[in-house]
A and B are shown apart, each in its own frame.
Chain A
Amino acid sequence: MRLGFFRRRSAPVARERLQILLEFERRADGTDLLALLRDEIITVIGKHVTLEPDKVQVKIDRGKNVSMLEVDVEVPNSDGALHATLIRAM
């Protein structure tokens, strides 16, 4: 059976994935952007409320035209039950 005929061409997928990834990696210039953002967010928010560093999560979902940056900060109840999630386009 010749499945090959019906299969999707894989090279265009490889090409697009690489283009998205490399555009991001070149901008990052070898630095770990997410770790940097996470550290700075912890510093900024930590000035005002008590934070547990491992309760701060920074994620990114890279798309072709727009990327979603998701920042999830969990703050203990003693500081007034604040749970903020920020999602914005990059």
Chain B
Amino acid sequence: MGKVVVVTSGKGGVGKTTSTAALGAELARSGQKVVVIDFDVGLRNLDLVMGAERRVVFDFVNVVQGAAKLTQALIRDKRVETLFLLPASQTRDKEALTEDGVARVIRELRQKFDWVICDSPAGIERGATLAMRHADTAIVVTNPEVSSVRDSDRMIGLLDAKTEKAEKGERIEKHLLLTRYDAGRASRGEMLNVEDVLEILSTSLLGIIPESEEVLRASNFGCPITISNPASGPARAYADAARRLKGETVAMNIPNGRRGILNKLFGRRAA
């Protein structure tokens, strides 16, 4: 039985889709069978970030409504053969995903894959609650910024109330993924630091992804950063996060956190 993970945040633009693609690709690279699902009906983007936008024929809504079989809608990644995408529908209305239909598709995917990663839409509406509904584990993507932290707090509350696990009285596993982190600015007191965010949200940390130009470069190319540039800072941070997700113990590095004395002297910004 595979594990169902929701990647959520409340606030938009913090890196849910980027993180879904990067973590999904990394887990698949390590030999696990992975499907990433786009729950953002009407505003799909995971296909674009994964570079599969021209290969979408059937989508999640078609499958939920029984118009297409799961095997027809799943798109196999061209780079990593154990990685699959279930794209969202672009045109249909948001009511198109029924609760029973989603439950059935997730159940089926759980049988076939080791990891079912649900990319949640922003907000706290139906799409977001459907995406978290069947999750065993939640990854709350947060930027070190006040509005993102507030929204993450709200999502944590929702995860503890609206998921199937929570309703059965079980605990849903929750992890924080801190993205767009600039260790230099944080150390100068210009940005909330890791300890601040962890203390405010009191949730365990899955990883710290450094702010980097490489992230945009990867999405420009339509290739998850863990595939396109595995040696880059963000990719290594995602790889560590993926290992923690699998239950491994990996020391937490604060990316670019320690600037060498030479860097300090010459005032160079960490790359």
Contact = CB atoms under 8 A, between A and B. Distances in A.
B150 A10 contact: no
Interface stretch (B13-21, B89-97, B188-196): B188-196
B91 to A, nearest CB: 32
Question: Which label, helix, strand, loop or mixed, suits the secondary structure of the B interface?
Answer: helix
A26 B157 contact: yes
B159 to A, nearest CB: 13
A18 B149 CA distance: 8
Interface residues of B, number: 16
Contacts, number: 38
A11 B190 contact: yes
Contacts of A90: none
A30 B191 CA distance: 28
Given A10-B190, A22-B150, A15 B196 contact: yes
A70 B149 CA distance: 28
A14 B150 contact: no
Contacts of B157: 26, 29-30
Interface in A1-39: 9-12, 14-15, 17-19, 21-22, 25-26, 29-30
B271 interface: no
Question: Which label, helix, strand, loop or mixed, suits the secondary structure of the A interface?
Answer: helix
B154 interface: yes
Given A18-B200, A19-B200, A26 B153 contact: yes
A15 B190 contact: no
B123 to A, nearest CB: 14
Given A15-B192, A15-B200, A26-B153, 15 more contacts: A9-B190, A10-B189, A11-B189, A11-B192, A11-B196, A12-B189, A14-B146, A14-B192, A14-B196, A17-B146, A18-B149, A19-B200, A21-B150, A22-B153, A22-B200
Interface of A: 9-12, 14-15, 17-19, 21-22, 25-26, 29-30
6 contacts: A11-B186, A11-B196, A14-B196, A18-B192, A21-B150, A26-B153
Interface of B: 145-146, 149-150, 153-154, 157, 186, 188-193, 196, 200
